[in-house]
Amino acid sequence: MIRVSNVSIAFGGIRAVRDCSLSVEPGTITGLIGPNGAGKTTLFNIVAGFLRPGLGRVEFAGEDVTGMPPHHLFRRGLVRTFQIPHEFATLTVLENLMVVPSRQSGERLLPAWLRPRRVAAEERSLRRRADETLEFLKLAHLRDAPAGILSGGQKKLLEIGRAMMADARVVLLDEPAAGVNRTLMGELAERIRLLNRERKVTFFVIEHDMNLIAALCQPVIVMAQGQVLSQGTLEEIRRDPRVVEAYFGAAGASACMPS
């Protein structure tokens, strides 16, 4: 679904991503881990169209999308979430879902004036979809509450719901466990698994919580210093001395690795 080929980008002479290549296969939940400053979020921003690489190529579903704007990628089914959720705080939880689908008839002045029945029917259909999504996320009891009052974990679930309303084919999740309590993290992980299994949504996940990576992700890709360092199952990369050194340094690697 995603192929990154020899991508590089620099900021003020600092190469945040260097000749990076990786792929995310359809139907997987692929993890992306690495120490702070490894270039993970920068890579996500390149894939999602927020940054244009200086070199290299990004493909989505076999199409070259290098530098394509995020809203164009969104319409193709590539959706990115953020470590800090970006909800519409004063809209209700339900309304946060209803505004997601693009090209709604009611967004244009003439159809709103000349075809009010069509607009109303479309809105009823969207409302039903949004209510079904909230039931799936177990947020139905908060449908009429302002989204700004939700907890961190509930906002992460709402972002998953917005990806569902967009009919996402691939979701880039940036640290979904950050700021989420253990109970809600388990709920979030279960919703991700269900979407992957039942709706065939592909996920690409940046995460520091190894318990969540272990529960969800295979394969796991490790980045360090802007490049892919290792790839495989979590157990395989844990045994890779290059990964241990990237996280703990040479001295730590010597202490951690078996003699």
Give the tens place of pLDDT for each residue, 95-131. 999 998 877 666 667 766 667 777 778 888 999 999 9
How far is the C-alpha of 6 from the C-alpha of 147, rounded, in Å? 40
Mean pLDDT by 10 residues, the chain (259 residues): 96 92 97 93 96 96 95 94 89 94 70 71 90 95 96 92 93 90 88 93 94 93 94 90 76 40
Q: What local confidence, expressed as pLDDT, does residue 253 receive?
A: 44
How far is the C-alpha of 21 from the C-alpha of 241, rounded, in Å? 21
Indicate the burial class of 258 (C-beta count within 10 angstroms; 0-12, 13-18, 19 or more). exposed
pTM of the model: 0.86
How far is the C-alpha of 56 from the C-alpha of 62, rounded, in Å? 15
Give the tens place of pLDDT for each residue, 229-247. 999 999 899 888 888 888 7
Contact 183, 203 (CB under 8 A): no
CA angle 249, 13, 49 (to 5 degrees): 90
